[in-house]
Structure 1
Amino acid sequence: MSLVRSIVCSACLLFSNVTLSDQWYLSPTASLNTFYDTNVRLSNTNPENSFGATAIAGVAAGRATETSDVAVKAEVNSRWFSDVPDFDRTNGALYFKSFQQLERIRLGLNGRLNYDSTETSEEQTSGLVQVNKRRTRAFLQPSLRYSLTQRTDISAILSYEAVTYEDVENIPLFNFTFGTAEAGIRYRLTERLNLVSSLSYDRYEAESVERSSNTYGITAGAEYEASPTLSVRGYAGTQSSESTGLASDDGTENSNTTGFQFQLRVAKEFDNGKLVLNADQGLIPTGRGTLLDTTSLFLGFDYAIKPRLDLRLAVRTYRNREPGGEASVNNRDFVRLEPKLAYKLTRNTNLELGYQYRFQDRESIDGYATSNAVFLTLRYSGDKYDLYDVAQF
């Protein structure tokens, strides 16, 4: 709860200097989704199919100027299943993002509070999406960037997250905390090319299983604006992790691993669409009581077929491996593919018809699991309304 209080207090501090003339805005969003899924639990055996529906309501408030930006968003997400009622759930989320630009210093503060389900929260890490248990995640990230010269910036980022699970006594998921400190430097070699480098330190702790790790990393890379419609960012380096935990004989087990890490982002805009590619690899925290060496890939493509009709494609893949390369129950591969057609009914309302394919293959389990789903979604994104017009203080 101390992390939540920090987010609230920081937001209050930023809000305290705002007057009604600053024109804060309010923007509502909502969606209603109906679907049919052939394997709700993404199970290797005895798949359960079901019809279902999802309702989402959210509201964002914010204020942006030439030197600052503050945005807050709250969202409630409820899902129902006709034939798998134990997967019914209601999630909530609160997001906060801000920055303040001074003469040579840029201060930032991001925060997030999620109350959700393991049905979705474990997709990137443990893959334990077969049960519906509650998860709470609190995240806070202050940052600072300082301009040393017209070409050189230095930066510092701190982040802390705390993850807790409910009612997981018979499921191998464990509460954990994860903190990061990172220092970086950026040098503008040309108007289009930046050279970047960073040093980082991570601390992971899962107290219930008495496991912890210290990880040190170094990266270097570049950011290149190849053209007004094409940008490329790439970083690569190494990570060294020192881990401590309980051994099978109730003693203490220490291990050291060194691995490769990288990040790549390519964004290309076309006359009628956009393509985004993100790829990265590194050690990430999980609820399995350990860090996992994870390679992930995201591909997003939007194309306007007609003035009101868009084709959209999203592909996500994850490859999780135990650090050091040994065999483990944590080793697995996951793919999610989502093509859809979006038709603009009005300026603020879209109707979407889509398909979702999920695939998961665990190294320790024979066979693999697949899921096919079709869905129809009505989505509303409201205009930005002056907050004073909505609620006259």
Structure 2
Amino acid sequence: MSRSAVHPEDPSVALPVAVVGGLHAEVRTAAVARLLADVPGSVALHHDLGSAPAGTVVRTVRDAGGVRSTGETPLVDDCACCALREDLVPELRRLAGAGGVPLAIVELWDSVEPKAMAEVIASGGFTVTGVITAVDPALLLPYLANGDDLAERGLAAAATDRRTVADTFARQLEYPPVLAVADSPEADDEDRELLRQLRPTAHQVPVDGPGGIRSPLAAAALAGVDLEAAAAAQHPACALLPAEADAHGVSTLVWHRHRPFHPERLYAALDELTCAAVRSRGRFWLADMPDTLFHWDAAGGALCVESAGPWLDSLPDAAWDMVPPVRRAAAALDWHPEHGDRCQHLVFTSPALERDGLHRLLESCLLTDSEYAAGPEAWRRLPHAFDTLLEV
């Protein structure tokens, strides 16, 4: 479990902290209310970033009986999330010092991502016992298909926030080990299957289920979480990507190859590939840049391609000792006798996925047999079609 070094007498050691986030605000608030009821004496902290345009962030502390206190903290560097980070740990320390709180619940504001806040809390010396995203299955597809900027929806956390609704929700969905799922009457089998295929390894617990300290939600909030493993599961080099699946009108295509992409043909196909699925992600390599591991991250009709550092095979042997074991393990699974860990590992998940056409398009972007036979030195001389995109 990831935690900072703390002194034995530090009261923060004795205060478990659970993080509950998600853009589905009604479900998130319901999950927090349920935790407050199920864990007697628990307290929830919430920073409302909606007041940021006025120059402040409003903090609310409440328990099952209602609001205990409110306060304001000024913006830091015109960034509401920065203000949250500056105010959150001191408030948790105050609660820990007062004693008698069996669980502190940090309810994140809509667009705040749980990974960053869980790591801030852990770096403050607290034990994060749960990280949960609240989800309404009926809203899953509308949010993942929403390419609007957060700023357009009044959800930006800073003036420089350029995230979209879709990519923010995707990260909220894919980071935490636990999903609190609403029993939504509007959700159908397709919605629930989409959630299952996007997060097959997540522990799903009902927001509305048996109550009490032993309820599934309370147990998940107090079970403990390995933040390092959660972060590694999102890193492009060793991400735990979904597996092949096809049920209830939803499909996941896993495409894995050991031949490099032709940069020009892949670049020409980006728009079609990006719109082929509601969510796609993974890692890939380009023939003209064989040492660079590229991250593919698409949602809401928008694609982010960026360098995620070197492939392990391109590093000198002496550097391998500095690579985390989880990265070495992931590389071993993909290892090719000629190319090392270089590979194409892309995963596309969507209702009504046109699998055959997508498969053909991806295959057409690889080097042909004659191009492949020309060898790595010839590959490096191919047009650098991605240079402009990577400079953005």
What TM-score comes out, normalization by structure 2 length?
A: 0.25
Greater per-residue strand proportion: 1
Q: Give the number of the structure with larger relative contact order, counting CA–CA contacts within 8 Å between residues 6 or more apart.
A: 2
